[in-house]
């Protein structure tokens, strides 16, 4: 799940936790400035 932390708003749900999927999402949604992750094991 991708969330705007300041607003607490969900902006996307990814089908998996791979870097390829996340990279594709970022490519389609430019403008992210800060990225943090939950550090959960996949």
**What does the angle CA 23 – CA 25 – CA 28 come to, to the nearest 5 degrees?**
110
42 residues of the chain, pLDDT tens digit each:
888 888 889 988 999 988 899 999 999 989 888 887 777 776
pLDDT of residue 29: 87
pLDDT of residue 36: 79
Neighbours of 12 (CB within 10 A): 11
In the chain, what are the domain boundaries? 1-42
Q: Is 25 exposed, middle or buried (0-12, 13-18, 19+ CB in 10 A)?
A: middle
Rounded to two decimals, the pTM is 0.68
Measured CA distances, 25 to 17, 18, 36 (Å): 12, 11, 15
């Amino acid at each position: 799940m991708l969330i705007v932390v300041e607003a607490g708003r969900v902006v996307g749900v990814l089908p998996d936790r791979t870097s390829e999927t996340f990279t594709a999402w970022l490519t389609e949604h430019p403008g992210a400035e800060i990225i943090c992750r939950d550090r959960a094991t996949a």
